[in-house]
Structure 1
């Protein structure tokens, strides 16, 4: 019988003294800032056609996201290395599973950064009309990508500072709408519970498909575990605190908009938070205020995702599964990982604007909804693998049952994320995923020849 050798913990990674620069507040800000991007400013209008049943979908999704966050915390306690999902998949299932996790996550990060920059230009146009000029539009999108990249290249200390500041700045206007809206809440403006008429279960599932990807980023602290102080404790805490904080903002913000903007207006709104601010305080300054908040939010998300775009290939490169250039690190940041990822995102952005192929770009963005869930599934499967293998024999039966239920719940949540991506995204995502096999074959062949 042929058996697969089990890799010893951290055996493939050389020893390295790491200066842990992220405390619990910074790690929490990284998680919360990456989860809350620019999508929150459109979420209330996107789910309004389904009615207030979408709030129930929010609650269910939050439970699943917290379960996933707890699983990442447990896995980080076992192996607190930078790379998060890649590290967990490789340790449990070997090099190939680890490579697929890293490759899939890397695609997600830099394509998502291109999408964030394109969306941010739309909000920037509210403040500085630039979209009448293609060169100005492209230049603004590139600046929005490279400023966070420069912050990353300056070192993890600056990444953390930018992330904390941007999270606080984005939280203030969102909290203003979320909390202030409760004082202007008008029940007569709230739409029906099941506005779609498809039954509450159908409405909840349909709205959940839209909301599912609002929680991408829950793995952010685990991905940067090598830079987090006391990662065995702080990664799990930061993951849960950041997820809960984002969920509170999402839920209260959506509820406030539901209660301040008439349902018939909300279903056709292109700027629901702007409409809510105008309804609460009058005037027409809501568009400017929300545009500023959206820009801050997206810039913070770009800052955090730029770091994650470098961390996934960095961990794989240290194990010989990605080209070695990705393993070069300075000031706690993989320098070439940042440059290559931002360069690819910039190229995709320029091609999008220059060709006008917005349909093709949207397809690429949709693919990331699939590629993001592959590392989640492999990570939760790794947690279940360690439980089944018997490493949990030393813990009580009650704790074992709790950990098993948590792992199964997180796995089910990841499958739900995958199902919500849709058939087209899964089909094309599989093509993107397996295209990386050529890279794996090249690196594996070089290792075998060297050996």
Structure 2
């Protein structure tokens, strides 16, 4: 049970809303205009489709959290519904998506830093700078959720400042002819272009589950998490609509496609060099401020998995601020390797490679998590059949969207997903051996007991 001394390190509604919105936007709002430029302004329909799907996911996550509030969020519910083996697989997938996504945040911040230091356009220097920033953020992350929450308020303010300055004031310079000229430059049909844009746009909403995963770090989670999730999603959706589209109607397509700092380039075109530098500085602060928020996710997941016996117990070891420091240092090491291994000819290419990996890794646990709610309702014989049918239908629609997104994704990303699934086989055997040595029940028995307890709680 939580003791009073730990409470001062928890987040309230405002801090959790800021963290949720910051986690979703992060580098998404600042780099996706350039990434989507390869498809064209038709991507606005991809944004719309993705937003509706993510809204449905938010409703499902909130309902699941109300019925099954546990540390670990969607991963904990997947484990309860589908058992320990699927739970282990989805833990690794989700864990991969959180820390690879953090790599993209670091690259985005370096992209805007290149406005001040042109040498960062060199891929090697950009990657080394990202690694230095990573380990600086690890130092702050070790100080606990309270410091992270306060940081999110400041950096979130910088994020909103940048978005409002371009997303609102920029409409006065919007050129509809420029926007229409790059409507679909993907070389594919409109339908395929919209699907491709929807898949990439999913990156902009990764982190919708931030609140539920951070259950143990939140004050009054039953009330705070649903409100923070919906508020954070609303803020994020408005920011995307007001900024990404307007940039596509201001910057020429060729300039936007190769840009490493689209917001800064837009501000520089509208208001001069100084404005571009000021916005670049604000974006760097916003992106770096989002990194510790993602660090909470990338440590909470392995901590919850270690608590249920799926990962070694050392990942649950915490410092005096309640931070799983072993998990944090371990994932930081993995992030360093990924940044070095994805070195590309330019920053935009490296960024696209990493977000493709992050999106693919996140779609698998999202698919299982949306099916977990109707599954738990059936397992626990939820009395309101109308709600069961409604959430089952909603889960089915979202599942179809995720399946289409996976099938339309890059083959290399799918190959990585299959390899990760194979890796879980020996890891699962390791968990069996560990449980046997500790004299515990087998994972399957443990899962049955877990569901039995859950049924009693909900009934």
Is TM (by shorter chain) over 0.5?
yes
Q: Deviations over 1:57-95 (max 9, x none)?
A: 211110101111111111111222221121011111211
Q: Retained in 1: the 8 A contact 2:152–2:289?
A: yes
1:419 equivalenced with 2:419 (yes/no): no
Q: Distance in 1 between matches of 2:42 and 2:347?
A: 35
Q: Does 1:318 align with 2:307?
A: yes
Structure 1 residue 259, shift from structure 2 partner: 3.0
Deviations 1:134-178 (A, max 9, x none): 996565323311222222211111011112221111111111100
Are residue 227 (structure 1) and residue 217 (structure 2) matched? yes
Query: Is 1:428 equivalent to 2:394 in the alignment?
Result: no
Q: How many angstroms apart in 2 are the aligned matches of 1:132 and 1:401?
A: 53
Q: How does 1:263-342 map to 2 (within 5 A)?
A: 266=256, 269=259, 271-281=261-271, 283-330=272-319, 331-342=321-332
Q: For 1:393-438, what per-residue CA distance to the aligned partner results, in whole angstroms no more than 9, with x for missing partners?
A: 2x262x3343223322332343344234322211222102321332
User: Which of 215, 228, 233 matches 1:238?
Assistant: 228
The equivalent residue for 1:149 is: 138
1:170/1:357 CA distance change after superposition, 3 Å: closer
1:445 matched to 2:436? The reply is no
Give the conservation status (yes or no) of the 8 Å contact 2:72–2:214: yes
Aligned pairs for 1:151-190 (under 5 A) are: 151-190=140-179
Q: Indicate yes or no: 2:245 matched with 1:255.
A: yes
Query: What secondary structure, in the 3-state scheme, does the structure 2 residue paired with 1:391 have?
Result: coil
2:86 corresponds to which residue?
97
Q: Which runs of 5+ in 2 are unaligned?
A: 440-459
TM-score using structure 2 length: 0.85
- Within 5 Å, give how 1:355-374 maps onto structure 2: 366-374=356-364
Aligned position for 1:403: 391
Residue matched to 2:96:
107
Query: 2: distance between equivalents of 1:260 and 1:354?
Result: 28
CA contact (8 A) 2:167 2:244 kept: yes
In the superposition, relative to structure 1, how do residues 195 and 374 fare at CA in structure 2: closer, same or farther (>3 Å)? closer
**CA shift in 2, pair 1:276/1:137, >3 Å:** closer
Gap change, CA 1:317 and 1:268, over 3 Å in 2: closer
After TM superposition, give the deviation of residue 124 of structure 1 in Å: 2.1
Task: Report which stretch shifted further, 32-41 or 287-296.
Answer: 287-296
Distance 2:225 2:111 in 1: 34
Q: 1:280 and 1:440, CA in 2 relative to 1: closer, same or farther beyond 3 A?
A: same
Cα 1:181/1:342, change in 2 over 3 Å: same
- Encode CA deviations 1:364-415: one digit per residue, 9 max, x unaligned: 653332211121111111112123446322x262x33432233223323433
1:23 — aligned with what?
12
TM superposition shift of 1:29: 1.3
Aligned length: 434
Counterpart of 1:10 in structure 2 is none
CA distance in 2, matches of 1:121, 1:168: 20
Contact 1:109 1:309 in 2 (8 A): yes
Mapped contact 1:384–1:408 kept (Cα < 8 A): no
Contact 2:81 2:375 in 1 (8 A): yes
The residue aligned with 1:3 is none
Report the alpha carbon displacement of residue 16 of structure 1 after superposing the two structures with TM: 4.8
Shift of 1:232: 2.0
Q: Which moved more, 1:61-70 or 1:338-347?
A: 338-347
Q: Deviations over 1:260-299 (max 9, x none)?
A: 3345654565543234223332x23354234323312321
207, 210, 213: which one pairs with 2:203? 213
Cα contact 2:195–2:405 (8 A) shared by 1: no
Contact persistence 1:369–1:418 (CA under 8 A): no
State the 1:442 CA deviation. 1.2
* 1:51–1:195 CA contact under 8 A, matched in 2: yes
Q: Distance in 1 between matches of 2:123 and 2:257?
A: 31
1:204 maps to 2:189: no
